[in-house]
Chain A
Amino acid sequence: MMTKRSTSRRAALTTIETVVALGVLATATTGVATLLVKHFQLTADARAVRVAVEEVSNRLAVVTAKPRAAVREAVQALAGVRLEGPLVGASLRGAVAPVDGGLRVTVTLDWPDEPRRRPPVALVGWSFSAEESR
């Protein structure tokens, strides 16, 4: 049973209650905004990594198709390549190692100047002459 005292006391919200409610709402809004920004960053990162894998695959396909004598030069030339689109700011580098009569080529794409560090993308291919691969 409700007393007369309690009904007269809860006539309206106090200023403090309203300010607290607005504060909670503002905090929730800030949290959602932060998550939204994070979502956009993750989407851009996922897109950039997908394009990076394609780009490294493309470079590897071209480099490993060259005659063995030209592979080292082609790999060194990767360092001077300027990338565009989602890969602006990324840099390519390659490494060649002799292995079992052929060459092991590693092409790596990195974002050295990116404030939010993205993981580098590296793929490996092998180059053998036609006689060796038989």
Chain B
Amino acid sequence: MKRRRGTSLIELLALMSAASAVLTLGAALVHRTMTAASQGRATRAEETAAWRLAEALRRDAAGATAAEWSADEGLLVLTVPERDSVEYRFAPPEVERRHPQGNGNVALEAWTLESVAGWTVDTASPGVIAVEAEPSSRPTPAAAPVALRVVARLGLSSQGGRP
């Protein structure tokens, strides 16, 4: 004769507690994973934009002989000898690069950095420009505000190009 008809109340309570703990942890983890995936995408986009902007600034500064910064307009003009100047317009969260091609066309490139509240551009040092991003205090989709500081030499590529 079987004496066991079912589970006891204690067993049932213990199992339900364990199950609810594991399921709560699982649900929290799923939510955290989805948030992390979203943050990861935003961070990746910001980092890529920062990397490409820094690269463009260094390349353009190397080919330029002079730099002029207008804080009111947020406009940085890099003078390139025998060619049209390259313009960078800093209007957070966007940075726009305009480069006339000489045939009437303009090469336009733009980067969006959501975690940047403003820009500091310093052209006071001779032959060097410094561009620094001011992090935003607002919550941003990225995990942390992008850190970007570019100090670039002017006219590097016109100095002979010797390695």
Contacts and interface: CB of A to CB of B under 8 A. Distances in A.
Interface in B146-163: 147-153, 156, 159-160, 162-163
Nearest to B14: A15
B45 interface: no
B145 to A, nearest CB: 9
Contact of A22 (B18, B51, B150, B156): B18
A29 B29 contact: yes
Interface residues of B, number: 37
Interface string B3-19: 00011000100010011
Contacts, number: 84
Interface stretch (B32-40, B70-78, B81-89, B93-101): B32-40
A39 interface: yes
B117 interface: no
Interface in B21-58: 22-23, 25-26, 29, 32-33, 36, 40, 43, 47, 50-51, 54, 58
Interface string A1-38: 00000000000100100110010011001001100100
Nearest to A37: B36
Given A36-B36, A50-B50, A126-B163, A64 B19 contact: no
What's the dominant secondary structure at chain B's contact region? helix
A43 B40 contact: yes
A89 to B, nearest CB: 15
Given A54-B148, A61-B128, 5 more contacts: A32-B33, A51-B147, A58-B151, A61-B153, A128-B160
Closest CB pairs A-B (n = 9): A133-B160, A58-B151, A61-B153, A133-B162, A85-B147, A51-B147, A65-B153, A25-B22, A29-B26
14 contacts: A12-B7, A19-B15, A50-B47, A54-B54, A54-B148, A55-B149, A57-B54, A58-B151, A58-B152, A59-B151, A62-B128, A85-B147, A132-B162, A133-B159
Interface of A: 12, 15, 18-19, 22, 25-26, 29, 32-33, 36, 39-40, 43, 46-47, 50-51, 54-55, 57-59, 61-62, 64-65, 85-86, 102, 126, 128, 130, 132-134
